Structure formats: C-alpha cells, structure tokens
Amino acid sequence: MIVNIFNTLKSGWSRVNDWVKRYDGRRPIPTLDSPETVGLYLILHAKYTGDLLGGAMDNYTHPERFQYAMETQTWNLPIDCDDYAIWAYQALLRIPGCEPTIVTLLDQGVVGSHVVCIYRTSKQCGVIDTNGHRLLTGRDPATICQTFTEIYAARGYRYVSATVTPYPF
C-alpha cells in the first residue's frame, strides 16, 4: 500500500518536472535486438548520478531525456535505479514478443527501495536494473526479492515485497 501511494505521488511530481523541462534535449529510445543487448546498452552508456538531495527529491527522468544524456554524455540529470527501469521498459517494448513490467522492491527497513524492469519472452524471463541484465528463474515476487536481496546483501538490504509499478509517463 505504501509503495503504491509513494509511486503515485512520485509519478505526479515526475510529470510536473518533465513538463517544466519539456524543452530540454530528448532523443528517441533505440530499437535493440534482445533483452541482453538492452542491459548491455545501459551498462556501456548510462551513468548513475542519484536523485536530488540524496534521494529526498526522488523522481523519474523521462526516458527520452535519459537517452539524450547517454548520447551526449551530459550528466546534469538525476539518474538512479527507477530511471534505468523505465528506460529499459521502453526499450524492451520495442522487442517483438517481449513483455516488460516495472517493479518496485521494498526493503524490510523501508529505506532501501529498488526499482527494476522484469520481462518475459517465449524463451526466458529476466530483469534489467543498474547492474545490467540477468536471467531469472521466475517473475514472481519471491524470486525477485530473493535475487536482489542476494545482490545487495553486503549493503544489508532484505527485500520483502515486489510491487508492479505503472509506467509514469
């Protein structure tokens, strides 16, 4: 419930922010041939800069603005995991037969949320986030939480819920 309320507020703030920044540079999301290529593209071109005020001003950056930053290497944008996830969502939508979903993971301490993009094709399911691409054994919340709890174990995160998150734009 708390994740849905937060995401609704964050989406509204993000749309307002995007409207204010409507004249900033934008580029179309490229069409890539596979989920693996989408993950690799992010690893090679994206830069994690973090949200304003250490995340206190969390917002989604429009994927076309994120694409512009990647192409021009202009990193004056607040880019974090949710921006990677919504960019990946848009890129995966362009792959025939790929069904992406944005998911917000909530840490048991309610301070370590993480946003990822999971997907399903006829052959596999996987996830793309700030770590790139990885295959998953399933798309159920328990599998996703376990996967990212293991990835971020050294930071002490223990993800306890995975909530489907609407595309904000």
Where do the domains of the chain lie? Answer: 2-165
Note the pLDDT of residue 20: 84
Phi, psi of 107, rounded to the nearest 5 degrees = -80, 150
Going by pLDDT thresholds of 50, 70 and 90, the confidence category of residue 55 is low
pTM reported for the whole predicted model: 0.89
Q: How far apart are CA 50 and CA 73, in angstroms?
A: 16
Residues 6 or more apart whose CB falls under 8 angstroms from that of 44 comprise: none
- The 10s digit of each residue's pLDDT in 11-48 is 767 777 888 888 889 999 999 999 999 999 999 999 99
Backbone angles phi, psi at 52, to 5 degrees: -60, 145
CATH topology of domain 2-165: C8orf32 fold (3.10.620)
pLDDT value of residue 54:
58
Contacts of 157 (CB under 8 A, 6+ apart): 107, 109, 112, 114, 148, 149
As a whole number of angstroms, the distance between CA 39 and CA 49 comes to 18
16 phi/psi in degrees, rounded to 5? -65, -50
Q: What is the residue whose two structure tokens read 């295959």?
A: 135
The H or E element that residue 110 is part of is none
